[in-house]
């Protein structure tokens, strides 16, 4: 792929220089022909390259250059499934030769194929109807190089400023992806969330079947359900209810559990029309938050709803989004974006997630902020994963055109809290909310 793209860049560059033009490197990279080469190759990749493409496309959305957006949108599609002989080989290593005798039926056609593994529906001899997630071979070995290669693509595209040190972020991405590739760890988190939500009749999680599970295999109860996005055609009350449940779950994960499933991919949420329960899947991206971080987020929400600008500034500082090293113009822009985000909550009891003007305004402010590239800095990792979850939840609620009383949902979680500042002083938040 690199050789083909480089050849295309040389030919296109020579042609432009012959016409008296002086093209930039990123202009030579993102030609239509090179985009086709990149898209065709990346479409067949699995693992971290596909996962990073999904994350970038979901979170960056229309901020991406159109050509790069086309590549990343292609990466949101299903991965190429494993051929039968490869599945057989993976299961021979995991379950031992003769494993097929344990099953009444085993469909080699996956019911889902994603970035790290694919899912098959099976029926065991003892009558268990299961969904078995099988990891693609070699995924763990490829994570570090895949992340580095996608990072190179981002740098060449000009999307990432040259002065920005993304090393810490890449390290965190690699760590997170290695954790997502550990199916034994995911099984533990799945059982943990099942225990935390055991008393909630609105959610349904599959049971883990340990006798068939391991580091690269995860066997779970198969749950009949439909994609959550099918609710787009449901009555307003049904759409509002689903969005309310998922937003409240995100608040509960942050403020009560301090444990969050941070991957809001639509495929991870399904729906049972007959029971009206939301099915929760895929806990590989589960992340634990520290108590101080959760309290800083609680303080930010409380100060925002109380329209307390000094409290907002203190909470943003505690989270690590601004501090004395951030230029004042950037602090002002962060505060302005927060003001725009909270304005609809203060103006009305009902927030209309289907109103695209709100997103448009935030996007314009974000683009203005992003254009000042000299002052870019990476936010704390916890803040990035939190944004990933709430951004995805917002986009799902927007897709459902939900109308919710967000203040009423949030208020029960905003009890008074206190934190210790860097100078040892005690800061109290939320007393007036």
As annotated, the active-site residues are 263
Burial class (CB in 10 A: 0-12, 13-18, 19+), 199: exposed
Q: Distance between terminal CA atoms of the chain? A: 56
Q: Distance between CA 418 and CA 393 in Å, rounded?
A: 28
Residue among 83, 77, 139 nearest 110 (CA)? 83
Tell me the CB-side half-sphere exposure of residue 38, using CA atoms within 13 A: 30
Residue 73 makes CB contacts below 8 A (sequence gap 6+) with: 57
Question: Would you say how long the chain is, in residues?
Answer: 433
């Amino acid at each position: 792929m690199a050789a083909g793209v480089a050849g295309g860049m040389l030919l296109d560059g020579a042609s432009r220089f012959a016409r008296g033009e002086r093209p930039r490197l990123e202009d030579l990279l993102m030609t239509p022909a090179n985009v086709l080469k990149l898209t065709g190759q990346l479409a067949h990749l699995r693992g971290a390259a596909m996962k990073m493409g999904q994350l970038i496309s979901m979170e960056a959305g229309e901020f991406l250059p159109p050509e790069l957006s086309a590549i990343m949108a292609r990466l949101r599609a299903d991965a190429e499934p494993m051929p039968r002989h490869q599945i057989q080989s993976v299961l021979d290593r995991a379950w031992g030769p003769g494993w097929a005798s344990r099953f009444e039926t085993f469909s080699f056609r996956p019911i889902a194929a994603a970035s790290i593994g694919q899912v098959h529906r099976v029926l065991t001899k003892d009558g268990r109807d299961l969904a078995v997630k099988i990891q693609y071979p070699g995924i763990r070995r490829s994570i570090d190089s895949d992340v580095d290669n996608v990072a190179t693509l981002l740098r060449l595209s000009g999307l990432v400023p040259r002065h920005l040190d993304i090393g810490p972020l890449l390290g965190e991405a690699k760590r997170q992806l290695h954790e997502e590739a550990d199916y034994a760890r995911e099984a533990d988190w799945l059982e943990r969330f099942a225990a935390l939500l055991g008393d909630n009749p609105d959610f349904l999680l599959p049971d883990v079947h340990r006798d068939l599970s391991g580091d690269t295999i995860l066997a779970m109860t198969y749950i009949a359900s439909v994609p959550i996005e099918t609710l787009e055609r449901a009555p307003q009350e049904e759409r509002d209810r689903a969005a309310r449940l998922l937003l409240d779950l995100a608040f509960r994960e942050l403020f009560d559990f301090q444990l969050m499933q941070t991957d809001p991919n639509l495929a991870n949420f399904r729906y049972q029309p007959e029971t009206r329960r939301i099915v929760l899947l895929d806990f590989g991206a589960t992340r634990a938050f520290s108590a101080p971080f959760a309290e800083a987020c609680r303080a930010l929400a409380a100060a925002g709803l109380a329209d307390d600008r000094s409290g907002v500034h203190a909470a943003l500082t505690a989270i690590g989004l601004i501090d004395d090293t951030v230029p004042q113009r950037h602090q002002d822009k962060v505060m302005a974006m927060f003001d725009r985000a909270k304005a609809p909550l203060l103006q009305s009891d009902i927030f209309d997630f289907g109103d695209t003007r709100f997103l448009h305004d935030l996007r314009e402010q974000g683009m203005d902020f992003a254009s000042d590239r000299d002052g870019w800095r990476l936010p704390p990792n916890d803040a990035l994963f939190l944004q990933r979850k709430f951004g995805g939840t917002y986009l799902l609620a927007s897709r459902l055109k939900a109308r919710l009383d967000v203040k009423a949902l949030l208020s029960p979680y905003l009890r008074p809290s206190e934190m210790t500042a860097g100078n040892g002083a005690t800061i109290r938040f939320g007393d007036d909310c």
